[in-house]
Structure 1
Amino acid sequence: MKIRYVLVMCGLLGLASCVKDDSTGATGAISEILIDEGSVKELYDIDKNEVLTITPQCKQTNGQKALSYTWEIDQKVYSHEPQFVYKGERLGTYLCRLIVENEDGKTFFPFKLNVNSPYEEGITVLSHDAQGKSMLSFMLKQRVPGVEDHFEDGDCFTVNNPDILFADSVTDMVQCDGNLIVSCKGNNHLQVPATIYYLNEKTFMVQNEIRVPEYANFNPIRLGIPADGYVGTAYPILSEDGKIYEFSISESALVPSTRLTSNYARACGIYSTSSTNFTLLFWDNTRHAFCQLTNGYGPYYCSKTYNMKNDNFDASKNYFNGKDFVAMFMPRLLSDASTTEEPTVVVIVKNSSSAMYQKVELNAPFWKYNADQGENVLVDNGGLKMCGFAAPKLKATSPLVASKLYKVLFFGDGNTVYKWFYTSNQMLDKSEEYCKVGSAQAIIGSMELSQDQKELFVAFHEPAESGLNGHVWVYDTQDGALLRKYDNVCYQPVKIMYKKK
C-alpha cells in the first residue's frame, strides 16, 4: 500500500517542535495526515451524466484527531463532505483538490477530472413506436475491460433534455457543423407541429428548436443538408407530400422553395467536400427527370445539354425522358478516401411503356469539363443498361446502403436483406439473398456500413413485440456471417447512422 506524505503546514510553534515534552511552552506530538494513494487517483475520466464517487482513506501518525474535508473544483469549494460525489453535467477538464485537515495542519491531494462525451463517435439510431413516440439511441463503445459495446439505456434525447418534449414521429438526421440535426413530423392531434432540432453532437443537448406551424402541410422526411453547412445558403428539406422547403441553417428559417417547385421522390443524394463544395440530388416526379443543386445553385437537370435549368427545360433533351423512377443510391466512399475521388450515383428507372428496368451510373455532379472538347460533358459511365425484367423488390422507400469498396448494394424487403452487385451484369430481379433478420414478421427499417465497410448494421423491428421492439444485428459484409446482436435497444427504426467524431 502506497502512502502519500505531504508537508503539514502548521504554525511556527508546530514547526519548531513535533515532540511533546515537559518544558515550558512545549506541545504534544503532531498527528500528521496520510492519504492512501489507492483511494484517490491523480486522474479520473467519466462520461457526461455519469456519477463519480471518491472515498478517501486517511490515517494519522499520532492518535485519531477530528478530520475535516474540503473538495475544490477549479479553485472553488465544491463540498465539505468526507466523500466526493460528482455528476458530470458539463464536458470539460477540471483541476480538483482534496484538503484534509485536523487541528495540527492540512494535507493536500490534487487530481484532474475529465468529463467526456459518451456520444463522441458511434452508431446512432432514430426510432419511434406504433403511436409515434420518438427515441434517440446510441451505441457506447467499449472503454472498460470486460464491458462490450452496448446501447445506452433509455432515450438519449430525454436523458440529456429532461425538460424538453421530443416531438413525435422522427424521420431523419444528419450530422452538420458540430450538430446532429433531427427532423420530426410531430402530432397534429396533440397540436405539436413538425419540428427540427439542433442537438450538440457530443452531448445531445438541444441547441435550437425550430417549429413552423404556419405550414400545416410541412412534414419533413428527408434533410438535404450536407456535413459542412454554409452561412447564407438555404438547403432543401423534402416533405411527405413530395414538396420541398428551403431551410437556412444559420438563420433557422424555413420557407417553401421557389426553385424546386415540382413533386419529388422520397430520395435524396448528398455529397460534400467542404461548406462551399456540395451536390444534392433529387428525382423530379413531375418532369420524370433527375436534377441537382451544385454549391447552392440550380436545379440543373440531367441532359446532354450542359446546365439545362427550369427556364430552359426541354423534355426531348431530358436524359431520363419516358422513364419512371424506381430508386437511387450513392455508393459509400471509404472514410479515408482521397478528396479527389469522384462520387457516383446509381439511378434505377423503369420504361413507362414496358416492364424493363434500367440503371445508369452518373457522376455527382453530372458534368465534368473535357479539355479536348473544350466544354462540360455529361459523365454517365456507360449510359443506361438493362438491369432486370421482372418488377424488383427494390423501391424508392426501400432501406438500402451501397459499398463502393465491394461494388454491392444491400437493400431490405420485409425481414430479408438482398445484395446486388451493381457494376456487374447481374439482373436486379436476380439479386441474391444476403440474410434474414429476426422472425418472419420482422421489418427492416434502415441499414448502415462501418467506417471500413467490413460490417453491415441492420436495424429492424418486430411488430408483435411490445415496448422496445427494435433490434440491431451486425453482419460480415463479405460472407454474411452474423457477428453481434443488440436486441430491444430502440423502437421501430427509421434511420441508423454512424456518427463521426
Structure 2
Amino acid sequence: MKTIKNIGKQLVFVFGINLIISGCFKDDTTFADKEVPLIEMNADKTEFNIGIGDYVTIDPQASQTFGDQVLTFEWALLDNDVLEVISEEAVLNYQFIGLGTHHIRLKITNNDGGIIQNYTVNVVTPYQEGLIVLSTNEQGKSDLSFLKTLTPEEEEEGLESAFETGVFSRINSAYTLSEAVDMDFTDERISITTRDNGTIWMLDSRTLTVIDEQAYANMFAGFSPLKMVGREHIRDGAIGDRQWNDNYILSSDGRVYGYSSSFNEVFETVRLESSVNYSIVHGHEYNIFFGQEKEPAYYCRLYAADTENDVVYYLAESGYTGYNNSGALFGNAGIDIVNMVCKDTGGSYDNLFVVGRGKGANSSQVYVIMLQYSYMSKINGYYTYEQTEALSIDENTDLKYNLKYNRVYYFNDNKVYQWYATENAEEPLPMPDDSVIDLDAGLEITCLEYSDDYSLMYLGVNNPALGEMSGCLYVYDIQSMQLVEQYDGIAYKPTNVFYKTK
C-alpha cells in the first residue's frame, strides 16, 4: 500500500503526463469533474543480483485505486540515456548475458496517466566479490582459493558461503601456475607474479580466466619477482606513460622494475639506477576522502630503499616527476636503515617513517626519522631510544599503516604487532614479546591485509599439521583484536590475500 507521500508524488506525475502528452490519451471530461484512477505498484525491491546468463523476473504487481482500465506495460533497458524496449508483458522475464550493472525503466500507463519505476540488475560471476587467497605448496604448485560474498538473494535463500579451492587450475585447465609469490589487482585485471621463469599472469578480475602470460627472465637476466607495490594507484584505471610505471616489482637480483598492468609488461624503470641493489619497496595507499562522505579518491606513494648504502628513493606516482632521494643523509648520520612505512592522507603532517640502527659504538640506539612523504632529504622530525635487544622488524617485514586507527601492523612468525606511529607519539617499536596477536606454536603468519574500511585484518596462516592444504585464513576485528572468522585448510601455504571488490 502506498503512503500518502508516495500517492502525492504519483498524483503530480499523473497531472504532468496529462499536460505533456494529453494528445496521446483520450479525455472526455475535465479534471474538475473527473476523478483520476492512480496506478499503484509494489516497489519494495528495486535491485537484483543474478548470475551471467540467468533470467531476472520482476513482478511489479500493479493495480489501480479504482476502476478497471487496461494497463499498458513497457520495460526498457537504459544505456547512456538510450532506451531499448525489451518487453511489454506485465511481468518481466529477461535473460542477461553481459556482466555489469544494468538499468531498467518500467512505464505503466492507463487512459489517464502513468507511473515510472527504475530497477537495477547486477549481473555477476561467482568471483565478482569476496576474499581471494594466492598460495603455493612445497613442490611449487600454486593456485587460488575464493570465498564468495553472498548476494542479498542468496542470503534470503539461507545459503552459506564456503571457500572454493583450486579455482585457477579448474577454470584455466590448460595452464599451470607455479611458484607464485604475489598478486595485485585493478577493477578489470588481476596480476600474479611468479618465480617460474619470471612469469607474470594477467587474469580477468571478474571471471579469473587467463588473459595473458609472459615470461620475463629471458628478457631481463636475473629477474625473479619478490614483491609488487602500487595496486591502489592502478586501481583507478590509469595506464600511465611507459617511461613511468603503474607498479613496481622488487626482484631477487636487487633491482626494481616497472610493470604496466594494462599491457602485462615489465620494463626497466628510468627512475632508478640499474647498478643499485635495492632491498625494500614500499607502497602506501591513501584515500584523500577517507572518513568523509565522498567517493574514494585513491593514491599511492611509492618508495624504494638501498640498505647497503642507506639511501631512500621516492618514486612518486605513475607519470609524476617528483622523483628524488635522501642522498647521503643516513650515511652521514651514521644510521643503518632497517625498514620504512608511510602515513599519508594528503595532509601536511604526514610522513615517511624510516626506522634505523646506529652504527658501530652507537648500535644500541634505535632511530625513527620522519621524512616529508614526498621529499626524502627533508626531515620533519625524529626521535631515538636505546634498545640492545633485537628489533621485532627487519628489512623483510611488511609494515602496513592503518588509517582508521593510526596504527602500523606487521607480523613476525606467529605474532602480530601494533605500533603507534604519528608525528607526536615518539613511541618505540614493540619488543619481540609485545604482540597483540599470538597464535599457537607451530603456526606461521605468511601475509596480512586490511578490509577496504580498515576495520578487519586478514591473516594468511600456514599450519603444517594440516598437510598439503596447510593454508588458513584468520579474520580479526582490529578495534577489539578478537577473532571473528577462521577458515582452516582452504589453500596451500598462503602468499597473499585481499578482499576483491566488484
* TM-score, normalised via structure 2 length: 0.65
Alignment correspondent of 2:354:
347
Out of 346-355 and 219-228, give the one that drifted further.
219-228
Which of 266, 272, 291 is the equivalent residue of 1:254? 266
- Tell me, yes or no, if the aligned pair for 1:244 and 1:260 is still in contact at 8 Å: no
1:300 aligns with 2:309: no
When structure 1 is superposed on structure 2, of 172-181 and 464-473 the one drifting more is: 172-181
CA distance in 1, matches of 2:391, 2:493: 24
Contact 1:223 1:238 (C-alpha < 8 Å) held by counterparts: yes
- Residue 280 of structure 2 aligns to which amino acid in structure 1? R
Change (3 A) 1:185 1:425: same
The equivalent residue for 2:437 is: 435
- Counterpart of 1:190? none
Q: For residue 330 of structure 1, report the CA deviation from its aligned partner.
A: 3.1
CA distance in 1, matches of 2:409, 2:421: 10
Gaps of 5+ in 1: 1-41, 55-73, 76-85, 96-111, 187-192, 303-312, 368-376
State whether residues 417 and 430 of structure 2, in contact with CA within 8 Å, keep that contact through their aligned partners in structure 1: no
Aligned equivalents of 1:271, 1:145: Cα separation in 2? 32
**1:360 & 1:278 partners in 2: Cα distance?**
21
Q: Say whether the 8 Å CA contact 1:355–1:391 is kept in structure 2.
A: no
Q: Assess if the C-alpha contact under 8 Å between 1:230 and 1:276 holds in 2.
A: no
1:171 to 166, 181, 200: 181
Structure 2 counterpart of 1:207, which letter? I
Residue number in structure 1 paired with 2:207: 203
Q: Distance in 2 between matches of 1:366 and 1:149?
A: 50
Look up the match of 1:16.
none
Do residues 471 (structure 1) and 441 (structure 2) align?
no
**Of 286, 295, 309, the match for 1:287:** 309
Counterpart CA distance in 2 for 1:392 and 1:418 is 12
The DSSP-based 3-state class of the residue aligned with 1:330 is strand
In the TM superposition, residue 139 of structure 1 has moved relative to its aligned partner by: 2.4
Is residue 218 of structure 1 aligned with residue 205 of structure 2? no
Question: Over aligned residue pairs, what C-alpha RMSD do you find?
Answer: 3.9
Residue deviations 1:127-181, cap 9 Å, x none? 1111111122232113323757745312332233232222x12112222352222
Amino acid at match of 1:301: N
Look up the match of 1:152.
163
Matches within 5 A, 1:6-155: 45-47=49-51, 91=99, 115-143=123-151, 144-145=154-155, 150-155=161-166
**Number of residue-to-residue matches in the alignment:** 382
Deviation, structure 1 residue 251: 4.8
> Could you say which residue in structure 1 is the equivalent of 2:384?
385
Relative to structure 2, which stretch is displaced further, 263-272 or 475-484? 263-272
1:47-79 Cα deviation digits (max 9, x unpaired): 45x99999xxxxxxxxxxxxxxxxxxx99xxxx
Distance apart, 1:89 and its partner CA = 8.6
Which range is displaced more, 239-248 or 290-299?
290-299
Q: Structure 2 CA distance, aligned partners of 1:113 and 1:451? A: 24
Q: Deviations over 1:378-400 (max 9, x none)?
A: 2x442243374421121222354
Structure 1 residue 298 displacement after superposition: 6.5
| 8 A contact 2:350–2:372 mirrored in 1 | yes
Q: Cα deviations across residues 417-448 of structure 1 (Å, max 9, x unaligned)?
A: 222223434432436321223x3111101112
Determine whether 1:329 maps to 2:341: yes
More helix by share: 2
Structure 1's 257 and 455: CA in aligned 2 closer, same or farther, altered over 3 A?
closer
Aligned equivalents of 2:300, 2:457: Cα separation in 1:
26
CA contact (8 A) 1:390 1:429 kept: no
Query: Is the Cα contact below 8 Å between 1:141 and 1:148 reproduced in 2?
Result: no
Alignment partners' CA distance in 2, 1:138 and 1:341:
39
Secondary structure of 2:436's counterpart equals strand
Q: Contact (CA 8 Å) 1:200, 1:206: kept in 2 or not?
A: yes
Kindly indicate whether residue 186 of structure 2 is the aligned counterpart of residue 185 of structure 1: no
Q: Residue type of the partner of 1:163?
A: A
- Point out the structure with max Rg over C-alpha: 1
Give the TM-score taking structure 1 as reference length: 0.65
Give the C-alpha shift of residue 481 in structure 1. Answer: 1.6
